[in-house]
Amino acid sequence: MDPLEQKFTKMVNEQKSTIYTVCYMFSKDSDEVGDLFQEILVNLWKGFPSFEGRSDIRTWVYRVSLNTCISADRKKKRRKKSESLDMNIDLYADNDADTKQVKLLYERINRLGVFDRAIVLLWLEGLPYDEIGDIVGISAKNVSVKLVRIREQLKKK
């Protein structure tokens, strides 16, 4: 294995949870998550030789992952939607109060626009505002303002 491949493999192993976090924010279907993960890896590999280290590697991985998932989400919405069969059975029904609250929160988050959803994802990951701003391309102050507005939106929903 050449040195570039070794560095790339090491980076992917270190950033795997970051990539999966972004994938799961955009899809709950395990096959689709796998497809998104692979597409992100392809995009990371394409850009890896030109990564200059001007930003933190994690910031770069987040940016590539988010851009890949946002593009895939747009493509998916352009395709015709197919009807799924509804069997009226929820095999994963969990009725405790905490689970209901988490499900409700994620349902509301998934109704947000893609950009706002990305900001919430990064905030839930505990990233500082300046790093979120670097990833999505806005100032830290703008991140703060957007989060206030997003919280208001979520309360209204």
**pLDDT digit string (tens) for 94-119?**
566 767 777 777 888 888 888 899 99
DSSP state of 55: S
**pLDDT digit string (tens) for 79-98?**
755 555 555 545 455 566 76
- DSSP characters over 85-98: P--S--TT---SHH
User: Would you state the pLDDT for residue 83?
Assistant: 56
**Which residues fall within 8 angstroms of residue 82, CB to CB, at 6 or more apart?**
none
pTM: 0.67
The Cα–Cα gap between 35 and 51 comes to: 23
